[in-house]
């Protein structure tokens, strides 16, 4: 926001929307951040100015805006400690924290609406990014990620991005283990397969809760190339434990596997690893 720009009745645009998000987060304004400074927004600015002990004129200049930002930052700091923790798929709004917030932030970052790191705390930046996304998709721009906003965030781009990452991992795998070196080598614990392993969960973008064989995606399941590791094969992965090949997926070819976890956070923490996979006889 420019130093000489004032948000007052009749003004429209992103600056107005940013002020409205802050007013909504502070409980001064209800409804959506529509980017139009009407009578309700003016009344909310006045209510904030009165509480802040500054001149009450219903105009948000730089001084009022800086106080609004300060209020939001203090709220975020407090809510980061005691705010409601939201699971993936739960409603995300100002002050919330946890895996649900982090998931929404990752989707917003992937689509270019939010920059920086997904820290799992829904502050004014995250709420503002949600509102901008909602406005472009012609949803209620209230900065709250509910069912409709989730659906819009997930409907395009997420699956393509996930598949692109898988293709990238596959190429890296084949550089380390050329196809002619694939195969099973004998080891004391059974046959060992040298594989590149990534991780996934039912909560990842584009995923469902069921495997290709109809079982539930959960820890103890791996996705494989059936031509390399037949479905139903029991395996042991050091550091992970026993698992069964119950799933297949795009980009899973040759000595490439996906290891299932119960949460999105566990899958992210696993990353990509080159491992020895023991086929249990």
CATH of the domain at 106: 1.10.101.10
The encoded tokens of residue 188 equal 């004391």
Residue 111's pLDDT band (boundaries 50, 70, 90)? confident
Predicted confidence at residue 229, as pLDDT, reads 86
In a shared domain, residues 227 and 249: yes
Q: Which of 130, 156, 182 is the last residue of a domain?
A: 156
Higher pLDDT, 50 or 176: 50
Distance CA(247)–CA(212), nearest Å, equals 5
Shared domain for 43 and 88, answered yes or no, is no
- Would you say residue 56 has pLDDT above 90? yes
My answer on whether 107 and 134 are in the same domain is yes
Tokens of 129: 């990014």
Task: Judge contact between 52 and 67, C-beta under 8 A.
Answer: yes
Count of all residues that appear for the chain in the document: 281
Average pLDDT over residues 193-213: 85
CA distance 193 to 182: 8
Residues 191 and 261 in one domain: yes
Mean pLDDT, residues 147-158 taken together: 71
Asked if 146 and 173 sit in the same domain, the reply is no
pLDDT at residue 227, as a whole number = 82
Q: Are strands 256-260 and 190-200 parallel, antiparallel or unpaired?
A: parallel
What sign results for the dihedral spanned by CA atoms 237, 241, 242, 243? negative
Same domain for 170 and 106: no
Q: Is the pLDDT of residue 39 over 90?
A: yes
Query: In the predicted model, what is the mean pLDDT of residues 85-90?
Result: 78
Answer whether residue 215 shows pLDDT above 50.
yes
At 226, phi and psi to the nearest 5? -60, -20
Cβ–Cβ under 8 Å, residues 261 and 199: yes
CA angle 181, 276, 273 (to 5 degrees): 95
**76 by DSSP, 3-state: which?**
helix
Question: In the chain, how many domains are there?
Answer: 3
> Is the pLDDT at 225 greater than 50, yes or no?
yes
Of 128-137, 151-160, 194-203, minimum mean pLDDT range = 151-160
134 shares its domain with 185: no
Residue pair 19/68 in contact by the 8 Å Cβ criterion: yes
Question: Per-residue pLDDT for 13 more than 90?
Answer: no
For all residues of the chain together, what is the average pLDDT?
Answer: 79
Query: Is 119 in the same domain as 90?
Result: yes
Which one of 122, 156, 190 terminates a domain? Answer: 156
Question: Does residue 179 sit in the same domain as residue 240?
Answer: yes
Residues 59 and 115 both lie in one domain:
no
Of the three residues 53, 80, 107, the one that is the final residue of a domain is 80
CA distances for 65 relative to 20, 170, 202, angstroms: 11, 49, 42
Domain enclosing residue 174, as ranges: 165-279
- Average pLDDT of span 35-48: 93
Q: What is the CATH number of the domain that holds 268?
A: 2.40.40.10
> Where does residue 81 rank: exposed (0-12), middle (13-18), buried (19+ CB within 10 A)?
exposed
Q: Of the spans 41-50, 126-135, 270-279, which averages the highest pLDDT?
A: 41-50
């Amino acid at each position: 926001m420019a130093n000489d720009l004032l948000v007052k009745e009749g003004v429209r645009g992103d600056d107005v929307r940013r002020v409205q998000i802050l007013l909504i987060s502070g409980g001064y304004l209800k409804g959506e951040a529509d980017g139009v400074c009407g009578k309700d927004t003016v009344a909310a600015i006045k209510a904030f100015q009165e509480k802040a002990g500054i001149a009450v004129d219903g105009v948000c200049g730089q001084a009022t805006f800086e106080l609004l930002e300060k209020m939001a930052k203090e709220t975020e700091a407090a809510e980061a400690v005691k705010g409601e923790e939201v699971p993936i798929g739960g409603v995300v709004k100002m002050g919330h924290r946890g895996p649900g917030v982090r998931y929404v932030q990752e989707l917003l970052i992937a689509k270019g609406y939010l920059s920086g790191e997904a820290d799992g705390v829904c502050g004014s930046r995250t709420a503002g990014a949600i509102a901008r996304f909602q406005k472009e998709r012609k949803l209620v721009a209230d900065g709250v990620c509910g069912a409709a906003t989730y659906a819009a965030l997930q409907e395009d781009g997420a699956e393509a991005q996930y598949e692109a990452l898988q293709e990238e991992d596959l190429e890296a795998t084949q550089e380390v283990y050329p196809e002619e070196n694939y195969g099973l080598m004998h080891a004391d614990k059974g046959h060992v397969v040298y594989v590149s392993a990534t991780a996934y969960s039912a909560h990842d973008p584009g995923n469902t809760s069921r495997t290709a064989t109809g079982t539930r995606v959960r820890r103890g399941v791996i996705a494989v190339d059936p031509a390399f590791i037949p479905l139903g094969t029991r395996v042991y992965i050091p550091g992970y434990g026993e698992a069964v090949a119950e799933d297949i997926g795009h980009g899973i070819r040759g000595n490439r596997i996906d290891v299932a976890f119960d949460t999105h956070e566990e899958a992210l923490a696993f990353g990509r690893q080159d491992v020895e996979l023991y086929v249990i006889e």
